[in-house]
Amino acid sequence: MKTLQILIVEDEVLIAEFIKLNILERGHQVTNIALSFDEALEAFHLRRPDLILLDIRLYGLKSGIDFAAYLSEQKKPPPYIYLTSQYDQRILSQALETNPYGYLTKPIRKETLWTTVESAYHLHQASQVVQPVITIQDGKNNYNINANEILYIQSDHIYANIITIHDQKITVRKSLQQLLNLCVSDFLFVCHRSFIVNVTHISEWNNNEIILKNNLTIPISRSRRDEILLKLKDFNP
């Protein structure tokens, strides 16, 4: 998984430091620790985080719920997870109405912290994914294809065969690069001069090959091996 930049908004310094140590242990980074609404506001704009751990109660008049309301007004707000030791049902109901991506009750266990943070980030990323539909013509028929449903694309001289997860095969007179430009999907990448694969449909891989979920084996280019393996690691933590 990518290294996340995490903002901690927590007015109990010892708890904030405990969370920070465990976040660092997991390999993520902490952009700042804020004790109040105003400090959180400043830290958020100073260095925009990938995710926020947000205590419901904060030092001062404004709460974590107030900060969540502020985030909801921003363009593409990061996901946030509430931290609390409160059991006031009214407060909890108000917090849940802001649609957080998770909820942690103190005392916090590091394993629960790690799981909640990474699950929340993945859920947020999935919610941001646009389902790109492309129109392809094979010389006779036109097809509307969801780019994320492409399993792989194989070059065949001046043609390319597009294989979908539904076992559909469409042959077009285009290069791999032309198709990659047309698809505009973060999930599709060239792993070999003859293949484009969809990273979301990979079951396993090694230094030399990729195995798709349909058990098809596709080679990895030696010249681009390091780049490809890094991409695979980023998408498959």
110-142: pLDDT as tens digits: 999 999 999 999 888 877 666 678 888 888 899
pLDDT at res. 116: 92
Tell me the domain boundaries of the chain.
5-128, 133-235
pLDDT at res. 131: 61
pLDDT at res. 87: 63
pLDDT at res. 103: 87
Instruction: Report d(CA 10, CA 7) in Å as an integer.
Output: 10
**Taking Cα atoms as reference points, which of 188, 197, 187 lies closest to residue 220?**
197
Contact (Cβ atoms closer than 8 angstroms) between residue 188 and residue 198: yes
pLDDT at res. 102: 86
Instruction: Report d(CA 216, CA 118) in Å as an integer.
Output: 30
Instruction: Report d(CA 177, CA 100) in Å as an integer.
Output: 40
Contact (Cβ atoms closer than 8 angstroms) between residue 54 and residue 9: yes
Does the pLDDT at position 200 exceed 90? no
CATH 3.40.50.2300 fits 5-128, yes or no: yes
Q: Which fold has domain 133-235?
A: OB fold (Dihydrolipoamide Acetyltransferase, E2P) (2.40.50)
Q: Which residue has the higher pLDDT, 230 or 168?
A: 168
> What's the mean pLDDT when you consider all of the chain?
88
pLDDT at res. 88: 65
**Taking Cα atoms as reference points, which of 124, 104, 106 lies closest to residue 114?**
104
C-alpha angle 25-206-118 in degrees, rounded to nearest 5: 30
Average pLDDT over residues 156-166: 92
Q: What is the reported pTM?
A: 0.57
pLDDT at res. 211: 93
pLDDT at res. 34: 96
Contact (Cβ atoms closer than 8 angstroms) between residue 63 and residue 40: no
C-alpha angle 70-73-78 in degrees, rounded to nearest 5: 80
Adjacent-strand bridge partners of 210: 205, 218
Does the pLDDT at position 237 exceed 90? no
